[in-house]
Amino acid sequence: DGKAVALYLPLTSKDMSYRIREALLDKVAGWKDTGDRVYITGLPVAEDTFGVQMFYQMAISAPLAMLVIFLVMWWFFRHVRLITSAMIVAMVAAASTMALLVISGSTVHIMSSMIPVFIMPIAVLDAVHILSEFFDRYPQHRDRHRAIREVMGILFKPMLFTTLTTMAGFASLALTPIPPVQVFGIFIAIGVFLAWLCTVTFIPAYIMLMPERGLTGFGHAVGDPDQNTVMGRWLHRLGEGVVGNARSVLVVTMVVVVAAGYGISQIRINDNPVKWFEPEHPIRVADRVLNEHFGGTYMAYLALVPEGDDVTLADYRQTFLDRLASHQKDVQAQDDATVAVFEELRAMAREVSEEADSAKAFLDELDQRVGVQLDAASDTHYDAWLEAQSFVDAERQRNETFKSPEVLRYIAELQQRLGETGVVGKSNSVADLVKTVHRELLGGDAEAFRIPDRPAAVAQTLLTYQNGHRPQDLWHFVTPDYRRASIWVQLTSGDNRDMSRVVQALDDFIAANPAPASLQARWFGLNYINVVWQDKMVSGMAMALFGSFVVVLLLMAVLFRSLLWGLLCMVPLTVTIGAIYGLIGLIGKNYDMPVAVLSALSLGLAVDYAIHFLARARATQAETGSWRRSVAPMFGEPARAITRNAIVLGVGFLPLLAAPLVPYQTVGVFIAAILLTAGLSTLLILPALITLLQRWMFPGSHRAVPNPQNQKEGVQ
């Protein structure tokens, strides 16, 4: 429509794209005064710009999240100096892990930039358990030494095993075939260990080094915290309700599981780095504008290589000599001069092949020597050397695959098929150059926009193009020996699903139309790399999740010395992961890089709450002698610790929603959802299961009547 013009800038390295974009924006900064608007976009720009901006967001979002966590903890515990200890642990763990990452020589990339965001909530998690237990026990003794010893005696084993299970969840990412994900998983596992080590050493020491007067007023006021706080009363009623309606709770859980299964079946695996920015980001605006006006801003490249193109010179020499021998038989009936010349050509070929380093160099040198012989040939031998030169020329043309009219027509048909996918706006190849030049040589007639019928005519069009102002542009589409070619494919969408559709269209076309010269098609370029990344991410994450699930189950069985208890511990984890990913499928959210990585966090955090609950349930039942009498204590301090933890961390990471980068928003939403869902499923599902399975879980103990309505005095 004459309203826009595009410049396409192919780059040799993605990491220069941000600098080029900034330089171009500086160059055109004054154009706004003229009314002209400049848009710059593309996958290299999007990915490199995201890589720069993620550092700014890491420096803003993570501290902001920690500030909110600090405020929520202050609202719960009302003691700045104590909750500062948890903040110190989180910062030391995150900073130490990033330091180890850099010292090890690993690259700080999109994945590893999120390491602090993942480590901080995990580091705070154990600290909140300690502070919550200490908050409830200190007022009973008014002796911090006795209180902290009791707290650590109760929590040390559960915290150790939650650390091991979380480490297993993230370390399992090392099983994925993607190096950045492997680095991410390994270093988060290291960070989780450092966080645990700091928590069990630093926080008790910190509390003991505080002056006694510094703890004045810390903890619940004298009295029953279950009755004196809103949370305490709510949890007490929740415990009674869950145990009294255990079957109903499990029926609702099964409904959730079925719905989650359906949602998981609807998950769309897709990603697009341009959509990592908010809709009004300049890169995303430019993407919409340019794709409205032009053929597409997403580049994919299709390399075409003849089968056997990678044969060695020794193999080619043998096939050359075999064809030469066959040709000699055809000329045997001719005069002695021709026979002698072809024998000399055979000897010459053997000599040249010893010196050449490629088939092209071999034919070039052989052609040059034959030309010298032809120039010096006598009348007797001239025709024979002319015949030899024709043979060498035929060999050269045999190797120049992409001068063949048949091959070029095949490329044109292939391009037409790709254009029919609906997401390819334009494609360019050597076939387009040949058709364009052929049309111009014939006076611009539209009917002449085609591939010539003879190889010599194709060669003429290519020679004419090379006589133009930019002859080097030809080598963007074909190599100088005409043995390899590439098609530039412009897509109007950067979604992996659309690139996969184009790949499938190519496969279908080749299957229905076998390529001449046995061409092999190989995709490359960022668009295709993202598809491969996504496929490997999905399969790798599935394998890692399954592997870590098995490891965590074995750890739980060892911890509780019971396979039944180990299986029970996995139930909230399974429900949480199923519910979160089922919701992703139901709302139509794409399964992309951040969502895939969060599966490891789901496993690590969801099992933490279950371990704490079951470990405390077993200890409490041993003291009371009955699960029914254990319900009230279990929905006292243990339930309060789990609830505080889920609220502190869930709410604490909602500030990530304010980040202008969509992956950070995704991480914020899903960390909050994972934490809240894991805490809620632990407090609802586990008590219900224990109530129904108590005769197997506590063999030999007295089993109370399961209906709390008839046993209120027992609960009290």
Q: What is the 3-state secondary structure (H, E, C) of 127-150?
A: HHHHHHHHHHHHHHHCCHHHHHHH
Instruction: Count CB-CB contacts under 10 A for residue 514.
Output: 9
Whole-angstrom distance, CA of residue 457 vs CA of residue 629: 95
403, with CB counted inside 10 A (0-12, 13-18, 19+), is buried
Q: What is the dihedral of CA 110, 115, 121, 127, to 10 degrees?
A: -170
d(CA 303, CA 494): 20
Beta bridge partners of 426: 490
Exposed/middle/buried for 245, CB within 10 Å: 0-12, 13-18, 19+? Answer: middle
| Strand 424-428 relative to strand 268-269, pairing | unpaired
What is the C-alpha radius of gyration for the chain, rounded to an integer number of angstroms? 36
Contact 60, 656 (CB under 8 A): no
pLDDT in the model for residue 648? 83
Q: Which helix (H) or strand (E) holds 102?
A: helix 80-103
Separation of alpha carbons 525 and 498, rounded Å? 15
One DSSP character per residue, 354-396 reads HH-SSHHHHHHHHHHHHHHHHHH--HHHHHHHHHHHHHHHHHH
Say how many CA atoms lie within 13 Å of 66 toward its Cβ.
Answer: 25
Of 482, 476, 486, which is closest to residue 528 (Cα–Cα)?
486
User: Residue 610: which residues within 8 A CB-CB, separation 6 or more?
Assistant: 568, 569, 570, 571, 572, 573, 682, 686
Tell me what pLDDT residue 34 has. Answer: 79
Grouping H, G, I as helix, E, B as strand and the rest as coil, residue 610 is helix
Residues 6+ apart with CB under 8 A from 526: 14, 43, 44, 47, 299
Residues 112, 184 contacting (CB under 8 angstroms): yes
Q: What is the pLDDT of residue 227?
A: 58
d(CA 9, CA 23): 13
Angle at alpha carbon of residue 456, lines to 450 and 458, rounded to 5°:
30
The per-residue pLDDT for 218 is 67
- CA separation for the pair 266, 271 (Å, rounded): 16
Tokens matching residue 352: 């040249």
- Longest CA–CA span in the chain (Å) reads 125
Q: Is the dihedral of CA 179, 185, 188, 190 positive or negative?
A: negative
Read off the tokens for 164. 């091991």
Phi-psi region of 546 (alpha: psi -120 to 50; beta: other; left: phi over 0): alpha
Pick from 273, 269, 284, 270: which is nearest to 54 by CA?
273
Please report the DSSP string for 309-358 in residue order. Answer: TT--HHHHHHHHHHHHHHHHHHHTTS-HHHHHHHHHHHHHHHHHHHH-SS
Rounded to whole angstroms, the Cα distance separating 634 from 627 reads 10
d(CA 437, CA 422): 28
pLDDT of residue 601: 65
Residue 454 phi/psi, 5-degree rounding, is -115, 145
In order, the DSSP letters of 37-87 are ------HHHHHHHHHHHHHHHHHHHHHHHHHHHHHHHHHHH--HHHHHHHH
What is d(CA 610, CA 457) in angstroms, rounded to the nearest whole number? 76
The amino acid present at 136, given as its one-letter code, is D
d(Cα 269, Cα 588) in Å, to the nearest integer? 10
* Residue 159: C-alpha distances to residues 128, 129, 207, 307 (Å): 11, 9, 18, 59
Parallel, antiparallel or unpaired: strands 268-269 and 590-591? parallel
Q: How many residues does the chain have?
A: 716
Instruction: Give the residues of the chain that fall short of pLDDT 50.
Output: 221-222, 702-716
pLDDT of residue 331: 64
DSSP conformational letter for 520? E
DSSP state of 10: -
3-state SS assignment for residue 298: strand
Q: What is the pLDDT of residue 166?
A: 84
Distances (CA, A) of 549 to 110, 546, 577: 26, 5, 11
pLDDT for 18: 92
Query: CA-CA distance, 555 to 549, in Å (whole number)?
Result: 10
User: What tokens does 674 get?
Assistant: 């994972």
Distance from chain centroid for Cα 32: 38
Q: In 3D, which of 162, 151, 174, 175 has the Cα closest to residue 122?
A: 162
